[in-house]
Structure 1
């Protein structure tokens, strides 16, 4: 008996992604449906997407990555979903593997993707990213994003997860200021996550954790082999950890002040 072809929904969330989103969209045109959820970009991203005939773009306010991706997932009309970041590109070989995979009768419920990291237009081979992988392809009815994380969101899968052979290409680094802003933003979201979990600020961790992050990625995870690129990436990643603890300290002080103001 002939099995009908499986349709695929490709999802992306965006905010000020001109310079990246063009390549991303071009690489997922093989999908039967492309939906982009934009959090009110100011650089022309929304207008660019609105003019693409095969893309449905929806503006939705950004609270955190988990809620934004959960909202995007609700918009998908197909069972199979491919979720890519705006700075990621699906290669032709990965496209073929995705298409073949979702049309396999015994396919898993979700698939991990490894990624090739690009520093501008040069490959970043080490600096802690060698084993990075994310769920990117899955059955909509079998997954949900956990509400315990605000950044680096985690997918709960009701079933089996497998790994695809081909890698996503991730253009992680545009320029210094862009990556720095991204890392500081991640740090502040991680601080909110820790605050909601009632984790307390600790001065020792405030100083030790960022240093350890740099040492771990630059030395243990071989960032020094990436040359100048490795120094920049490892430093900015450690800056994100520093910002997490700085922001956690600020949130605790703000909470204490609010407590004393309402005390009789």
Structure 2
């Protein structure tokens, strides 16, 4: 291929206290033309580890929400093709090859969804709603931007065609009950503030019914019971995040009265 036609890839990572994962991740993405880590002033050794990689650009920025952090990272990238990856995710060799070949295609696709394999303590979670989990991670920034009305569970706005990659990201999200519970708590708080920002006024009954519905839907309809005790744990913690969302919403709004 003519070097003039060669597409370059920027890999972007947003971090906070990821010393457990960041070294192996950075070693694993050495195929990238540019690597940028946007760190929210980690209090562990994340930043020090990143600084040992000469090919990685470390930028520190205070965390406001996930959307603004991601859009900020996009603005720092030199290349049009962007791959977002979290510190607790890994690419298989097959996915790396697919990403490289994909960005060199001459088609009109602006963004690609990638399926994720959810790992529960290093074992694959097969159901509980995660069997169809996919997310935009590879895209051309000239046609894409994260919508600013979300603070968590970011939504990529794509101006153009989309497609799905064949290979999957491995997501090591769950390592312990307390760690995952804390993550779900933080998500719940952000979603509460997001609702307030949008002027939403949910009924107080949702504080109990929405978490219950979430648990039953994921455990029964999304076959969480087939994951055994792992399914019960994940379905409960996802419902817990919904509960925190409403509890925090009513706490904040009542304090303003």
Q: Which band: TM-score by shorter chain?
A: over 0.9
Once the two structures are superposed, the pairs formed by residues 163-242 of structure 1 within 5 Å of their partners are: 163-242=164-243
What is the distance in 1 between the residues matched to 2:220 and 2:51?
45
How big is the shift at 1:107?
A: 5.0
Give how far 1:22 is off.
2.4
Distance 1:65 1:74 in 2: 14
Contact 1:80 1:137 in 2 (8 A): yes
Question: CA–CA distance in 1 between the matches of 2:39 and 2:92?
Answer: 24
2:117·2:170 contact (CA, 8 Å) conserved in 1? yes
Q: Is the 8 A contact 1:8 1:78 kept in 2?
A: yes
> Following the alignment from structure 1 to structure 2, what is the Cα–Cα distance between the partners of residues 107 and 56?
30
Cα RMSD of the aligned pairs, angstroms, is 1.2
Q: Deviations over 1:12-67 (max 9, x none)?
A: 00001121222322221110000000001111111110111111111100000000
Partner residue, 2:54:
53
Counterpart residue number, 2:125: 124
> 4+ residue stretches of structure 1 with deviation over 6 A?
none
Q: Report the equivalent of 1:12.
A: 13
1:21 maps to what in 2?
A: 22
User: Which blocks of at least 5 consecutive residues in structure 1 are unaligned?
Assistant: 257-264
Is the 1:101–1:107 contact (alpha carbons within 8 Å) kept by the matching residues of 2? no
Aligned pairs (5 A) from 1:103-142: 103-106=104-107, 108-142=109-143
Deviations 1:93-128 (A, max 9, x none): 000000000011115111000101101210011111
Structure 2 residue ranges without an equivalent (≥5): none
Indicate conservation of the 8 Å contact 2:115/2:168, yes or no: yes
- Check whether the contact 2:22–2:49 (CA below 8 A) recurs between aligned residues: no
Task: Using structure 2 for the length normalisation, give the TM-score.
Answer: 0.97
